[in-house]
Amino acid sequence: MAGGRKPILLGLFLVMVMGIAIYLRLWTIDYSVSSSDNELLRRQFDLANREAMDESAEWRYKYDREVDKVNKVFEGT
């Protein structure tokens, strides 16, 4: 039984060491972002936010129209 555990523990240890090595490699990558990149990111975020707001308003309008239709049907009966 102990003979079967040793390879599993060794494999687990190796996977943990490799995971730590990958984590440290990603952590040490230099993320130097220039001010123009920051401005570009901000503009892209603002554009995406406006598009999401427009889509949300469009869906809300469709929902309100459907509610009005249902209310008219129930008022007629």
- In the numeric block, the tokens 């494999």 are attached to 11
Q: Where are the domains of the chain?
A: 1-31, 34-77
Residues 68, 75: Cα–Cα separation, whole Å:
10
| CA-based torsion, 62, 64, 67, 68: positive or negative | negative
| CA-based torsion, 46, 52, 55, 59: positive or negative | negative
pTM of the model: 0.45
DSSP 3-state assignment of 2?
Answer: helix
> pLDDT, tens digit, for every residue of 53-62?
999 999 999 9
> pLDDT, tens digit, for every residue of 29-45?
756 556 667 888 889 99
Residues 74, 62: Cα–Cα separation, whole Å:
19
